[in-house]
Amino acid sequence: MLKVGIDVGSTTMKTVAMREDNTLVFCDYQRHYSQIIEKGKEMIQAMIDRIGDDEVTIALSGSAGMGLAEAADIPFVQEVYATRVAAKTFIPDTDAIIELGGEDAKILFLKGGLEVRMNGTCAGGTGAFIDQMATLLGISRDDIDRLSEQSTELYTIASRCGVFAKSDIQPLINQGAKTEDIAASILVAVVNQTIAGLAQGRKIEGKVVYLGGPLTFIKRLRYYFDKALNTEGICPENSLYYVAMGSALSPDGKKMRLSDVVTALESYRGKGEYVKLEPLFNDEAEYKAFRERHLKADVPVRDPSTYTGRAYLGIDAGSTTIKTCLLSEDGKLLLSRYSPNNGNPVQAIQSFLSSLYDTYPDIQIAASASTGYGEDLMKAAFSLDYSLVETEAHFIGAKYFMPDVDFIIDIGGQDIKCFKIRDGVIDDIFLNEACSSGCGSFLQTFANALGKSAQEFAELALTAKEPVDLGSRCTVFMNSSVKQAQKDGATINDISAGLAISVVKNALYKVIRTSNPEELGHRIVTQGGTFLNDAVLRAFEKELGLEVVRPQIAGLMGAYGAALYAKMMAKRHELRLSSTIRKEELEGLQHTVKNVRCQGCTNHCLLTVNSFGTKRRMISGNKCEKPITGKKEDSAEKWDVYAYKQELLDSYRARKTGAKGTLGLPLALGMYELLPFYVTLFQDLGYDTVVSPFSTRDIYIKGQSSIPSDTVCFPAKLMHGAVDWLVREKVDRIFIPCSSYNVNEEKGNNHFNCPVVAYYGEVIKGNQDLEGIPLTLGYLALDNPKHLARRISELFGVSRREAAKAISKGFDALADYRKRITDKGLEIISESRKEGRQIIVLAGRPYHTDPEINHGIDRMIVSLGASVISEDSVAPLTGKGQDNVLNQWTYHARMYDAARYIADQRDMNLVQLVSFGCGLDAVTTDEVKEILRAKDRIYTQIKIDEITNLGAVRIRMRSLFAAIEMEEEKDNG
Amino acid sequence: MAKIPFTQEMKDKGYTIAIPNMSPIHFNIMKRIFINHGFRPVLLENSSPSVIREGLKYVHNDMCYPCLLVIGQIIDAINRGIVDKDHTAVIISQTGGGCRASNYYFLLIKALERAGLGNIPVISANLQGMNANPGFQITLPMLVQAFTALVYGDLLMLLSNQVKPYEINKGDTDRVIDKWTDILGDCYEKNKGYFWGNMKKKLFQIADDFAAVPVKRVPKVKVGVVGEIYMKYSRLGNSNLQGFLEDEGAEVMLPPMMGFVLYCFANGIKDEEYYGGRAKYAFLMKHIGMPLLTIVEKWTDQAIERYPEFRTAATFKELEKYAERFIDRGCKMGEGWLLTAEMAELIEKGYDNIVCTQPFGCLPNHICGKGMIRPLKEAYPESNIVPIDYDPSATKVNQENRIKLMLAVAREKLEASEVK
């Protein structure tokens, strides 16, 4: 009897039939476009055509297979288990298997204690991830393989989550980094993610087998795995079919005829048991009225072939698309273009301009401006006159359609931008973050996955009878929700409508965080390519219960605003001659990209240098202005408390020989605050303290493999690297403070540490190889010196008197350290006021001082001309306040205090740093925002994690400064 | 933000008190205690997707899932008219620890206000006297009754879980639970017959009743469920995890709730040792409180031990010992060291296949749950632990697939042991 196995993966379906002796008679591999039941029927029919319809034993496996198994009543085998059965049969001496699928990644250890690991729900580094990144680069998966061979430089890409990775890759593309290098970096990111996230410290060695689509098709991926594991793994014959073969071999197989399976699938109907929403349109007439209403929001156009004279060019270089608008002197739209940038925005504009110059020689560009992610690149490449931050461009565009607009929402391909306008000034800005990433490209991805164009897919939604309620989730999660809905019998129309609704809900409830759409405003302009999708627009109006304006050029609003800006500025500056690149020069434009390591300081930033012919170049990737201006900066700490803190902390690294040997202190989490205390204390007790350095990417990667929870916050993850560094230093002992309570500053109802700061040492103890170095976890009372002395004397074998003396010195050092920070803060405030500099309170936790955690955001803000102080430098300036939340964490209380303090200081603004996964910040962000709102102040939040690129943060900060400037201009009349 | 207190007048007017149902067995018994003290409790069972929708709307989406569910459930219940918005108070527990869960009370008030339901009083159930309400005072008889209800509930849960998967006549086990829920309810109403001597007797009778259920014992995969307290017990929270596991042919064990209560009390003793300042509390608790509270443990164990087919739960002393092998008992936020101890206990008792449930991003569980799996695995190589995260975005398919992997490994172990 033949044995049949089916494997329904997240993107592909595999079928095999095997003889008794386990040789393959038949195998097939196809993409299923989520049409699982239909595809199953088709593939089994194909199998019958080849092997006939005798009785077989059959079993089914795969992450998307449960529905099919139910429908046809076939036994279901868990896929990791199936893999193992197959491996045992075909390669019995396997030690470890690495299997990457569409959305799952697995590692199986077969020898020495069976262990199977599967990625958590919140994870990237899979086949779908690679496909997504390829789409982003505008190349195929095979190209990734081929191009990566020619890479010369690797970039850091966060691969924990596809959305994170995108935010690292997008700016690389826009800065002109080589596709070869990005391709290689993507593969390396996948390798790092798999090894670190799944092996979790267990060594992968011996005979390693690579399975699954990505590892079969991308040989460079195997190469990078080999390199990372220092081994030569094998990718066996039929590596795509191991799961299918494993289920065929499974003892649970059921005897049946394949034709019975086909019959069962033919009669299968989804139960229709999904959560349904109201249709977008009840009938055709309703849709017609809707169309007509929105057709009115139009811009006057003018035929460019009959136009001669001055024109204004606006370019919006977005993350995936590039938009251009050309306006006549009387503000009419002459030309516009909306096109994907295919990873090369310079080329896109080059071709636009050359066709403009060729076709309409009578039009001359009088002024030009760029905006968007690629604003700087565009300005440099084409020598444009102006550039402006995109929020401003959108506001200018929107005002044309609705002069008294009070809320603008822009949903583009990759991001959502919303801003409130009050009294003609941008008042509040919301941008989406990784976990609220449902934007346009998301609809596009789904359309493609279901085998439709974006346009076709959007039209389907309009006639949906019972849209699926998909909630508002992150893109990664949405995949499985859609599959679940399909399994439950939702039609593609209902899914399309459901997705459109979820994009809107995501924007309203996750990005803007409104519970009452009334709060937004009543004069709303919608922008961005995604709103050209009528389903999204309708869903938005329905959710708000309000009619909004959607300009016909919704997708071009950034470029339109930029063109209007160019026109406005040209008039204001009486610009006679635009600097925009001329025809002759355009033809000779040679765009080259080079990567160099900056030698300006120890950061050694990887700089991307774009050169355009002989004269112009643009440098990006820098964290400071040095490589551009060539000038030495003001000493960093002059305007920056964070830099000052780093310097202060550095001073505690000085070693002092001690009779009791070396004691390693990992500089991570709570130690960032308490370093002065512990160094002083332990040096006094006779220890030679060794402090781990500030984190770097390299240190992080070295400690990454012992992290047990991939969703814990980044600051906690860095603890592993710090401890690993100390282990390699071969210190005699390591000390990690572990306390429920922090110092009592009398500012809240209690003075807790957060659970992670409090007990992370336990994770180190349980998961990290310390090579025999003893680890002391100090459960210590910092709020009770007397008791502390007792504990220290117990833990370190010193007399209580000695302990008490050392403790008192430690507290003096801590008080001194804290005072210096407050003094420095006050000094910066007064110096800044003298020079009229904006002051930003970058409010986070003490460990946000770590340069790998804050990614140099402090320096970036300084480079924009503002000063940076920290929450703990201003918190002591205000008393205990009344809070609407339980205020019981020492570090968090400081943020509330800082917010209350600056609420009354008009020249100070607060920017809150939030780490992904910080559960407490779900509480603090809303509260800090409310404190600021109560006094009409702008609240800005920056979420940080591994993502190293500051592009989005920069836009956010510049928007903030633009808003402040507009407000000042208004105040000054 | 205005805190509306629950007044005596509201109590007299017969306001309904809405209680999110965390564990049906326990809460059905507790309900009678509320009635007994002149309140009108309604256990909230509404679980349609609109619960999550309301939660997402009114609670910060990065907040932990139980918070989102509990608040969503309350608002949904009001929207649906399950309770009357003008004559209802809601109750929510407030543990006051260093975990963000201590903020549920404030977030609920904020959410109600944003939903236009700011008139609804919120009662904070805690023993520290935080945010007191004149109309809702926890009296000594109430405390004693609640304490005994917990003990009874735990025994009913412990034994029903060991009987139900094997019962010959479907429904027998549930009938025993219903019977005792009624008997105990009557005792509370009359305020007698549930404590001291009667308690021991009743515990024995409960064990007798379960032992009398006709069963056919076949080898089954044994799965323990541990985790964050709401995720572990609540069907709404974990999408009826127990039902899913039982349908897959497993026997499921949930650690008793009393463990958590004792854990909370005992943490004060450890706090004194580590941080000082609570000498009196620690002394009284250590020498009088804990010994008294753990007397009933002995009765429960004696009741169970008369039947060799039943397994007892670990005593609190044993739990402390299990914990100390892996984690310091100073870890006291959320479920803290208790979670690690329960995993070790379950493994020791033969429930070495474990689902560790937590809300996505649960801070203590990064440490006491996921962070302790590796050391546990080293100590018990046979253990088979799968951590499952719950949040509004996680889909059932994804979770079930991971649980099925755990079950596949468990079944293989079971078969191997049968061959032996």
CA-based nearest distance B62→chain A, Å: 5
Residue closest to A394 by CA, chosen among A404, A376, A406, A408 = A408
Contacts of A763 in chain B (CB under 8 A): 366-367, 371
CB contact under 8 A, A923 and B381: no
B118 touches chain A (CB under 8 A): no
CB contact under 8 A, B333 and A740: yes
Final residue before a domain boundary, out of B80, B106, B137: B137
Check if the beta carbon of residue A581 is closer than 8 Å to that of residue A385. no
Q: Give me the pLDDT at residue A427, please.
A: 77
Check if the beta carbon of residue A891 is closer than 8 Å to that of residue A875. no
| DSSP classification of residue A635 | P
A34 by DSSP, 3-state: which?
coil
Final residue before a domain boundary, out of B103, B120, B137: B137
Asked if A738 and A772 sit in the same domain, the reply is yes
**Mean pLDDT computed over A729-741:** 95
| Most A CBs within 10 Å, among B367, B384, B385, to test the A interface | B367
CA-based nearest distance A350→chain B, Å: 43
CB contact under 8 A, A762 and B367: yes
Q: Give me the pLDDT at residue A614, please.
A: 66
Asked if A732 and A825 sit in the same domain, the reply is no
Q: Is residue B206 part of a domain?
A: no
Q: What confidence tier does A965 reach under pLDDT thresholds 50, 70, 90? A: confident
Q: How many domains does chain B have?
A: 2
In chain B, which residues have pLDDT < 70?
A: 1, 96, 420
Q: Is residue A690 part of a domain?
A: yes
Asked if A491 and A442 sit in the same domain, the reply is yes
CB contact under 8 A, A923 and B63: yes
**Mean pLDDT computed over A41-48:** 94
Q: Is residue A617 part of a domain?
A: no
Asked if B226 and B333 sit in the same domain, the reply is yes
Look at residue A123 and tell me whether its pLDDT is greater than 60.
Answer: no
CB contact under 8 A, B366 and A756: yes
Look at residue A150 and tell me whether its pLDDT is greater than 60.
Answer: yes
CB contact under 8 A, A78 and B63: no
Residue closest to A190 by CA, chosen among A220, A170, A211, A167 = A220
**Mean pLDDT computed over A869-889:** 85
Looking at the partner chain, which of B275, B371, B405 has a beta carbon nearest the beta carbon of A118? B405
CB contact under 8 A, B401 and A76: no
A753 touches chain B (CB under 8 A): yes
Q: Is residue A633 part of a domain?
A: no
Q: Give me the pLDDT at residue A435, please.
A: 67
Q: Is residue B169 part of a domain?
A: no
Check if the beta carbon of residue A494 is closer than 8 Å to that of residue A465. yes
A817 by DSSP, 3-state: which?
helix
Q: Is residue B161 part of a domain?
A: no
**Mean pLDDT computed over A33-47:** 89
Look at residue A633 and tell me whether its pLDDT is greater than 60.
Answer: no
What's the mean pLDDT when you consider all of chain A? Answer: 88
Looking at the partner chain, which of A63, A755, A919 has a beta carbon nearest the beta carbon of B367? A755
**Mean pLDDT computed over A649-662:** 92
Chain B's closest residue to A776, CA to CA, is B328
Look at residue A434 and tell me whether its pLDDT is greater than 80.
Answer: no
Give the whole-angstrom CA distance, residue B348 versus residue A803: 41
**Mean pLDDT computed over A74-84:** 90
Cα–Cα distances (Å) from A291 to A532, A546, A549, in that order, read 11, 15, 12
A922 touches chain B (CB under 8 A): yes
Q: What confidence tier does A476 reach under pLDDT thresholds 50, 70, 90? A: low
Count CB neighbours of A969 within 10 A: 10
CA-based nearest distance A457→chain B, Å: 23
Q: Please provide residue A298's backbone torsions phi and psi, each rounded to the nearest 5 degrees.
A: -125, 160
Quote ipTM for the complex: 0.94
Check if the beta carbon of residue B233 is closer than 8 Å to that of residue B181. no
Q: Is residue B99 part of a domain?
A: yes
Asked if B223 and B318 sit in the same domain, the reply is yes
Q: What confidence tier does A771 reach under pLDDT thresholds 50, 70, 90? A: very high
Helix/strand/coil percentages in chain A, nearest 5: 45, 20, 35
B60 touches chain A (CB under 8 A): yes
Asked if A878 and A813 sit in the same domain, the reply is no
Give the whole-angstrom CA distance, residue A312 versus residue A378: 15
Check if the beta carbon of residue A128 is closer than 8 Å to that of residue A165. no
For residues B172 and A120, which has the higher predicted lDDT (pLDDT)?
B172
Final residue before a domain boundary, out of B137, B152, B185: B137
B408 touches chain A (CB under 8 A): yes
Q: Is residue B3 part of a domain?
A: no
CA-based nearest distance A63→chain B, Å: 7
**Mean pLDDT computed over A711-717:** 92
Q: Is residue A294 part of a domain?
A: no
| DSSP classification of residue A754 | P
Pairs of CB atoms within 8 A across A/B? 217
Q: Give me the pLDDT at residue A606, please.
A: 76
CB contact under 8 A, B106 and A885: yes
Asked if B232 and B111 sit in the same domain, the reply is no
Look at residue A159 and tell me whether its pLDDT is greater than 90.
Answer: no
Contacts of A436 in chain B (CB under 8 A): 61
Asked if A63 and A133 sit in the same domain, the reply is no
Asked if A700 and A690 sit in the same domain, the reply is yes
Contacts of B361 in chain A (CB under 8 A): 711, 917, 919
Asked if B107 and B231 sit in the same domain, the reply is no
Percent of chain A surpassing pLDDT 70: 95
Residue closest to B56 by CA, chosen among B73, B48, B68 = B68
Look at residue A327 and tell me whether its pLDDT is greater than 70.
Answer: yes
Final residue before a domain boundary, out of A784, A818, A852: A818
Look at residue A437 and tell me whether its pLDDT is greater than 70.
Answer: no
| DSSP classification of residue A521 | -
Q: Is residue A497 part of a domain?
A: yes
B367 touches chain A (CB under 8 A): yes
Asked if A930 and A890 sit in the same domain, the reply is yes
Look at residue A121 and tell me whether its pLDDT is greater than 70.
Answer: no
Q: Is residue B303 part of a domain?
A: no
A759 touches chain B (CB under 8 A): yes
Q: Give me the pLDDT at residue B40, please.
A: 94
CA-based nearest distance B309→chain A, Å: 30
Looking at the partner chain, which of B107, B363, B397 has a beta carbon nearest the beta carbon of A754? B363
CATH code, domain carrying B408: 3.40.50
Contacts of A76 in chain B (CB under 8 A): 404
**Mean pLDDT computed over A402-407:** 92
Asked if A473 and A531 sit in the same domain, the reply is yes
Give the whole-angstrom CA distance, residue A249 versus residue A92: 14
Q: Give me the pLDDT at residue B308, please.
A: 95
SS in 3 state form for chain B? CCCCCCCHHHHHCCCEEEEECCCHHHHHHHHHHHHHCCCEEEEECCCCHHHHHHHHHHCCCCCCHHHHHHHHHHHHHHHCCCCCCCCEEEEEECCCCCCHHHHHHHHHHHHHHHCCCCCCCEEEECCCCCCCECCECCCHHHHHHHHHHHHHHHHHHHHHHHHHHHECCCCHHHHHHHHHHHHHHHHHHHCCCCCCHHHHHHHHHHHHHHHCCCECCCCCEEEEEEECHHHHHCCCCCCCHHHHHHHCCEEEECCCCHHHHHHHHHHHHHHHHHHCCCHHHHHHHHHHHHHHHCHHHHHHHHHHHCCCCCCCCCCHHHHHHHHHCCCCCCCCCCCHHHHHHHHHHHHHCCCCEEEEEEECCCHHHHHHCHHHHHHHHHHCCCCEEEEEEECCCCCHHHHHHHHHHHHHHHHHHHHHHHHC
Contacts of B381 in chain A (CB under 8 A): 113
Looking at the partner chain, which of A78, A787, A889 has a beta carbon nearest the beta carbon of B276? A787
Q: What residues have CB less than 8 Å from A288, skipping those under 6 apart?
A: none
Q: Which amino acid is at A378?
A: M
Kind and range of the H or E run holding A264: helix A258-266
Final residue before a domain boundary, out of A794, A818, A842: A818
Asked if B98 and B239 sit in the same domain, the reply is no
Final residue before a domain boundary, out of A818, A840, A858: A818
CB contact under 8 A, B114 and A474: no
Paired sense of beta strands A96-100 and A208-211, if any = parallel
Domain assignment of residue B15, given as a range: 8-137
Chain A's closest residue to B106, CA to CA, is A885
pLDDT-wise least confident of A505-514, A813-822, B42-51: A505-514
Asked if A686 and A722 sit in the same domain, the reply is yes
Q: Is residue B149 part of a domain?
A: no
Q: Is residue A475 part of a domain?
A: yes
Q: Which residue has the tokens 């034709």?
A: A259
Chain A's closest residue to B52, CA to CA, is A471
A112 touches chain B (CB under 8 A): no
Q: Is residue A250 part of a domain?
A: yes
CB contact under 8 A, B372 and A766: yes
Q: Is residue B365 part of a domain?
A: yes
Give the whole-angstrom CA distance, residue A163 versus residue A178: 21
| DSSP classification of residue A893 | H
Asked if B224 and B322 sit in the same domain, the reply is yes
Chain B's closest residue to A475, CA to CA, is B393
Q: Please provide residue A128's backbone torsions phi and psi, each rounded to the nearest 5 degrees.
A: -60, -35
Give the whole-angstrom CA distance, residue B145 versus residue B35: 12
Q: Give me the pLDDT at residue A973, please.
A: 56
Asked if A944 and A907 sit in the same domain, the reply is yes
Contacts of A784 in chain B (CB under 8 A): 275-277
Asked if B117 and B226 sit in the same domain, the reply is no
Please report which residue ranges of A426-572 form alpha helices under DSSP H: 440-449, 454-462, 475-487, 492-505, 534-544, 557-572
Paired sense of beta strands B122-125 and A775-778, if any = unpaired
pLDDT-wise least confident of A210-219, A673-682, A716-725, A964-973: A964-973
Give the whole-angstrom CA distance, residue A601 versus residue A584: 40
Asked if A213 and A255 sit in the same domain, the reply is no
Length of chain A: 973
Count CB neighbours of A244 within 10 A: 33
Contacts of B131 in chain A (CB under 8 A): none
B115 touches chain A (CB under 8 A): yes
Q: Per-residue pLDDT tens for B121-165?
A: 999 887 777 777 888 888 888 889 999 999 999 999 999 999 999
Contacts of A780 in chain B (CB under 8 A): 274-275
CA-based nearest distance B160→chain A, Å: 29
**Mean pLDDT computed over A841-864:** 92
Residue closest to B162 by CA, chosen among B259, B258, B251, B254 = B251
CA-based nearest distance B211→chain A, Å: 34
Q: Give me the pLDDT at residue A122, please.
A: 61
CATH code, domain carrying A340: 3.30.420.40
Q: How many domains does chain A have?
A: 6
A760 touches chain B (CB under 8 A): yes
**Mean pLDDT computed over A18-27:** 93
Q: Give me the pLDDT at residue A709, please.
A: 86
Domain assignment of residue A484, given as a range: 407-548
Structure tokens at A347: 């080329």
A116 touches chain B (CB under 8 A): yes
CB contacts under 8 A, A 836-865 vs B, are none
pLDDT-wise least confident of A13-27, A579-593, A637-651, B178-192: A579-593
CB contact under 8 A, A200 and B374: yes
A775 touches chain B (CB under 8 A): no
Chain A's closest residue to B95, CA to CA, is A886
Chain A's closest residue to B411, CA to CA, is A81
CB contact under 8 A, A779 and B368: no
Asked if A109 and A158 sit in the same domain, the reply is yes
Paired sense of beta strands A55-61 and A76-77, if any = parallel
